Amino acid sequence: MSRGYNVAVVGATGAVGIAMIETLEKRNFPVKKLRLFASERSVGKKLPFKGRQIPVELLTVDVFQGIDFALFSAGAARSKEFAPAAVNAGAVVIDNSSAFRMEPDVPLVVPEVNPEDAKKHKGIIANPNCSTAIMLVAVYPLHKVNPVRRIVVSTYQAASGAGAKAMAELEEQTARLLRGDKDVHAEALPQPIAFNLFPHVDAFLDNGYTKEEMKFVNESRKIMHYPTLKISATCVRVPVYRAHSEAVNIEFERPMKPDEARAILSKAPGVKVVDDPANKKYPMPIDASGQYDCLVGRIRQDCSRDDDRGIELFVSGDQLLKGAALNAVQIAELLI
């Protein structure tokens, strides 16, 4: 029987923080005491956990004494400021921000891909970008059988990826436009999102890609221990409330048939194959929302090649769960 653990959720009132609390409860993580931290404006709010109402406390550097696991989802700046204090107090930090992902001595972990890396931590383990995690759950099982040479991915990213304010913005703008009010302004997102989409997720870089697109490249290489993996990504924000989708083109070392890919993925952890187009069954964000598994379908041969080394597939995964909260809790489970 495992002992109980004292767990802190930092950024508890955000969309991911709330999902972390729900995931700890649903997966019956052995929590002895749960403490919730956020900024001043959230102090005193209460959030439910196992039939109790847990008050939100002010995040300061001296709150981590006695904490075993600190799950951070409060943005990179706060992680950089407060994570070292948590580590110094003896906690293992599992951080959902981009603050530590590319630090050489910080493991970047997707439990279905590189669980062994979690054990090499020095106090901090990083959660990857949500889109990277969702893609790798689908790609890595195939890579283990037939090495991947190149990936081209286009994403359809939900408002949830930009946080609770972006989700509220989608709702509010949609209601306004349906009422005939054309006066919609983007605040949480760079453009109006209702009845729109735009190829702009995160800041643009000098190479013409966005930071989000380059996260696919750099994070996938680190997680898969594959520094020469070729990846090109185009990330698009779409007017979907929750769950990201991705169209993934994969080039393998050797030929791979769709039936073989389907058979591999049907046994892969964290994957649910939904691939019956004749009966209108394929991955959709509306079905992936709230699910732990990533849905994978539209598995087919790349018809632009004549060597059968290309596979196309479509994946939908809940950005708040596999892309964030679930992945963090799974990492904590690896360590107990």
CA distances from 26 to 8, 229, 291, 292, 318 (A): 17, 36, 12, 11, 16
What does the alpha-carbon distance between residue 29 and residue 22 come to, in Å, rounded to a whole number? Answer: 10
Catalytic residue among 121, 130, 143, 294: 130
Catalytic residue among 121, 235, 244, 294: 244
130 is catalytic: yes
303 is catalytic: no
Catalytic positions, please?
130, 244
